[in-house]
């Protein structure tokens, strides 16, 4: 069993436990559930940098990245740096995150927030809205076309943008549908955790023009973004490159300033 299979097995147990304790109706009555969301897609369209900065404490491949910084400080720093939005890992067991991170970031910032999670149930989308998210991630590798359609429609009904993540052409072809806003190409193989920007390059022309193209993972150099922009990418999800520093917000600001040179 590879790491992705392990994560999904544990996620099913976790979600079922949460549903028993907190039914959907509980989250639907929360204060943030009626909040008007901010579109990550629109933010990217209006941006020159296209940076979506990530908050990630650790990962199965890197173990500890940075567990010492508060999500409040990171969110304030990223927003001050002028990024388009913030991706927040909410998985606890493998990434050290939580839904509380989402709420804290929402309390101190006004830019779009993406709940980055292994979504396998509509329940998690309702949670995302209740905790202050503006967008959700759907991973094609773990979902059927029927599930992608159902989950993306649920998200849209709640005013949430949908970022669909693919790793190869088969995943892309099975997932293209009108209820998706952004298509992200993950350069990290979720089964082996090896990273290659060639994944984004190879799929660039296969993504229909009506979708915003986002390149994810392994992006650490300004030159890489400039090359990806030239082949149609508008968004760039950057995490470890910022989070491994003592001041992710400052690192993001310096990175964006280099892009503008």
Catalytic residue flag (residue 216): yes
Is residue 137 within 8 Å of 97, Cβ to Cβ? no
Confidence at residue 261, expressed as pLDDT on a 0 to 100 scale: 54
Share of the chain above pLDDT 90, in %: 87
Residue 67 has what pLDDT? 84
- Looking at residues 185-198, what average pLDDT do you find? 84
| Average pLDDT of the residues of the chain | 94
Band (194; pLDDT cuts 50, 70, 90): confident
Asked whether residue 133 carries a pLDDT value surpassing 60, the answer given is: yes
Give residues with Cβ within 8 angstroms of 212, minimum separation 6.
41, 44, 45, 181, 182, 183, 234, 235
- Name which of 61, 67, 92, 60 is nearest 243 in CA terms: 67
Task: Please say if 173 is a catalytic residue.
Answer: no
Cβ contact 8:53 at 8 Å: no
186 is catalytic: yes
pLDDT at 28: 97
The question of whether 72 is a catalytic residue gets the answer no
The catalytically annotated residue of 43, 54, 109, 187 is 54
Residues 165, 187, 234, 253: which is the catalytic one?
Answer: 165
Nearest to 143 by CA among 167, 127, 160: 167
- Catalytic, 200? Answer no
Give CA–CA dist 76/83, Å, rounded.
Answer: 11
Please name every residue paired with 85 in a beta bridge, in sequence order, or none if there are none: 52
Q: Which of 217, 234, 240, 253 is catalytic?
A: 217
| pLDDT 10s digits, 232-251 | 999 999 988 999 999 999 99
User: Is 217 annotated in the active site?
Assistant: yes
Distance CA 249, CA 75 (A): 8
Residue 213 appears among annotated catalytic residues = no
Widest CA span in the chain: 53
pLDDT at 3: 85
- Domains of the chain with bracketed CATH: 3-259 (3.20.20.70)
R_g (Cα) of the chain, nearest Å: 17
Distance in angstroms (rounded) separating the CA atoms of residues 160 and 181: 10
Per-residue pLDDT reduced to its tens digit, 43-100: 999 998 999 999 999 888 777 888 888 999 999 999 999 999 999 999 999 999 999 9
pLDDT in tens, 10-48: 999 999 999 999 999 999 999 999 999 999 999 999 998
Q: What pTM was computed for the model?
A: 0.95
d(CA 200, CA 169): 11
């Amino acid at each position: 069993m590879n790491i992705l299979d392990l994560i999904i097995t544990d996620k099913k147990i976790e979600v079922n436990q949460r549903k028993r304790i907190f039914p959907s109706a509980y989250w639907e009555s929360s204060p943030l559930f009626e909040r008007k969301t901010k579109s990550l897609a629109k933010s990217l369209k209006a941006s020159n940098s296209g940076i979506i900065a990530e908050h990630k404490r650790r990962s199965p491949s890197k173990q500890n990245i940075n567990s010492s910084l508060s999500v409040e400080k990171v969110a304030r720093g990223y927003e001050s740096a002028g990024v388009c939005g913030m991706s927040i890992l909410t998985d606890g067991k493998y990434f050290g995150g939580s839904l509380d991170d989402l709420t804290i970031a929402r309390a101190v910032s006004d830019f779009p927030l993406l709940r980055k999670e292994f979504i396998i149930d509509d329940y998690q989308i309702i949670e995302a809205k209740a905790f202050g998210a503006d967008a959700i991630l759907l991973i094609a590798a773990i979902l059927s076309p029927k599930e992608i359609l159902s989950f993306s429609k649920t998200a849209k009904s709640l005013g949430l943008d949908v970022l669909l993540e693919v790793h190869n052409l088969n995943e892309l072809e099975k997932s293209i549908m009108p209820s998706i806003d952004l298509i992200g190409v993950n350069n990290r193989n979720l089964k082996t955790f090896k990273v290659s920007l060639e994944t984004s390059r190879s799929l660039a022309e296969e993504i229909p023009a009506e979708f915003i193209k986002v390149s994810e993972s392994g992006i650490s150099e300004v030159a890489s973004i400039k090359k990806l922009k030239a082949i149609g990418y508008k968004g760039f999800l950057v995490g470890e490159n910022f989070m491994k520093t003592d001041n992710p917000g400052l690192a993001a600001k310096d990175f964006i300033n280099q892009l503008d040179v």
